[in-house]
A and B are shown apart, each in its own frame.
Chain A
């Protein structure tokens, strides 16, 4: 009965969202489910690699198995290669939920692809750090569209056999005529243009870049030029983390941009690899579990969202990926797996995360208050990336 009610209310949300679709942003609907019913038996997720482990690589890290046992929801996952890919997968309507980064969440909300979430029926939400709640990438007009999973910066990953003094800046990947020519490993996604913009913020302050994701024509052109120079310096591009790990392991790559996840994987294998956050800061991500507007298994998704905020699951997942846990309880649990984890990832250190530019969507109106359209939009970024990679 409760289940039917939930499905019914979600149906209403779906109709409202559909009616508001087609460009206009959906009106906040307060018609949310008021309780979680019985699980539907399965759950289809779009995830970042490493976000749903069942102990295959390390039996100590298994938060999918216990969830399946407790909820009866069999979990099937599809890994996205980048945020645009995640948005595209969610638009297919085949998935119940996604672990979306900030550059995907806003697009999913505006496109009506995801539904509002009643966080009051998720018991673990109360424990989440206040600094992760009610942020522009997970809340619109006071309506919640998901729950936090974890956050962290993109790191400079390098081979400690080749680079013996830890780098303190991103220069090794940008320098013209760098000594690591042909051995620079770069993330293959249009969002990486922001890393070039971030570098320009310190190197060319006269360009006046305030936000690396909202660039005007001149700023954008400078960033693209820098990326073309990097490409001509022999940069290599990784689409999946396993490619990058294989290339570093073979010694083909020496320095580049990466996630803590790869650093952890390679250090666990005893490889001479380290990751640092350079002084000028970095781009990063803050990920959110979101539920699809027309999710076929809404109860399982609600159960999953709550599960992923629990101390055990969040503690394991964030240690596994090397990102910051979302609650003090998860932090405490994470410490039992990896002592010092919360300090290392600055879990509740908002000052630290002020240095991190979370991935967000490039928008024509610069995502600011005045309505002038002076910035390059998402399509322009993707096209520029095609040009950088294809020429």
Chain B
């Protein structure tokens, strides 16, 4: 580092360990690739999957009822027993799945006209403005948006103020329908964007061909557009369905209803980790099945 550089006399490369490794690696492309991927894959396996496995292992461990200490490697199925024995966990699961389906359907109905207008009717300038408008809420923090809804919904809030002249009252912060409203709002962009991309991929010539063959608007929609855009709808539904299935903050903040995520959160924060771990296998299982079906429907090509 301190040695002066003498022009013309290039120093002879030293055959250090790094250089020897480089020479050895040079022709071996496969090993190069594996070494390159080792770090990110190691991170994925150890930090992500590893911690997940440890968490799920808790489901099979015993817990002291008095002190709340989990006893590792004391194998038991107690947590699963209480899940099956107590019917409340089934009620909560069905409520959550129902809400996820409802939010998904709502977002499909809301997203389709917007996406269709963006991709087929709007001028390029309006289209760009709309894409930004759809993306904009994603730049705001999740909690900020939920709290904004709270100020709208709560007693003496914006909704009450609007409804008051009509002699009506807002829902307050306890109704389960608030969760439906807020989650549908939160996940709408995740539905619009894949559907927009899917609609844009449909060649105009197909619609013209349908019209030439006598297809009216309804027929063209049912027989041409819908089948072509269906994988995109499924792709969007993966987001709306899975995000609703796992959300516990919104239900807590805008309603009084308990969902799968709330039960998991409550039990982990109250120290019943085995039960929380056992219950968390349910949404994992549901999403695995959902993704397998979605793959069969071709959703992953539309993402």
Cα–Cα distance between A88 and B67 once the two chains are bound (Å): 10
Q: Which of B145-188 contact A (CB under 8 A)?
A: 154-157, 172-174
Question: Closest Cβ of chain B: how far from A17's Cβ, in Å?
Answer: 12
Query: Does B26 sit at the interface, judged by CB under 8 A?
Result: no
Q: Given A107-B66, A390-B92, is A382 in contact with B270 using a C-beta cutoff of 8 Å?
A: yes
A-B contact count (CB 8 A): 94
Contact (Cβ within 8 A) A87 B68: yes
Q: Which of B66, B256, B268 contacts A378 (CB 8 A)?
A: B66
Which chain A residues lie closer than 8 Å to B67 at the CB level? 23, 107-108, 110-113
Nearest neighbor of A189 in chain B, beta-carbon distance: B270
Q: State the interface size on chain A (CB cutoff 8 A).
A: 39
Query: Does A361 sit at the interface, judged by CB under 8 A?
Result: yes
Cα–Cα distance between A379 and B79 once the two chains are bound (Å): 11
Nearest neighbor of A251 in chain B, beta-carbon distance: B155
Nearest neighbor of A80 in chain B, beta-carbon distance: B269
Which chain B residues lie closer than 8 Å to A378 at the CB level? 65-66, 68
Chain B CB within 10 A, most for which of A87, A250, A386: A386
Q: Given A390-B91, A390-B263, is A107 in contact with B269 using a C-beta cutoff of 8 Å?
A: no
Question: Closest Cβ of chain B: how far from A36's Cβ, in Å?
Answer: 28
Which chain B residues lie closer than 8 Å to A23 at the CB level? 64, 67, 69, 71
Query: Does B88 sit at the interface, judged by CB under 8 A?
Result: yes
Q: Given A236-B256, A252-B173, is A88 in contact with B68 using a C-beta cutoff of 8 Å?
A: yes
Cα–Cα distance between A127 and B66 once the two chains are bound (Å): 33
Q: State the interface size on chain B (CB cutoff 8 A).
A: 34
Which chain A residues lie closer than 8 Å to B92 at the CB level? 390
Q: Which of A360-383 contact B (CB under 8 A)?
A: 361, 363-364, 377-380, 382-383
Query: Does B240 sit at the interface, judged by CB under 8 A?
Result: no
Q: Given A84-B270, A88-B270, is A246 in contact with B154 using a C-beta cutoff of 8 Å?
A: yes
Contact (Cβ within 8 A) B69 A250: no
A residues near B (Cβ < 8 Å) are 21-23, 81-82, 84-85, 87-88, 91, 107-108, 110-113, 190, 236-237, 239, 246-247, 250-252, 361, 363-364, 377-380, 382-383, 386-387, 389-391
Q: Given A88-B270, A250-B154, is A389 in contact with B68 using a C-beta cutoff of 8 Å?
A: no
Cα–Cα distance between A279 and B10 once the two chains are bound (Å): 97
B242-266 CB contact bits vs A (8 Å, 1 = yes)? 0000000000100010100011001
Contact (Cβ within 8 A) B88 A377: no
Q: Which of A85, A247, A363, A391 contacts B66 (CB 8 A)?
A: A363
Cα–Cα distance between A377 and B252 once the two chains are bound (Å): 27
Which chain B residues lie closer than 8 Å to A379 at the CB level? 63, 65, 272
Cα–Cα distance between A236 and B174 once the two chains are bound (Å): 7
Which chain A residues lie closer than 8 Å to B205 at the CB level? none
Query: Does B86 sit at the interface, judged by CB under 8 A?
Result: yes
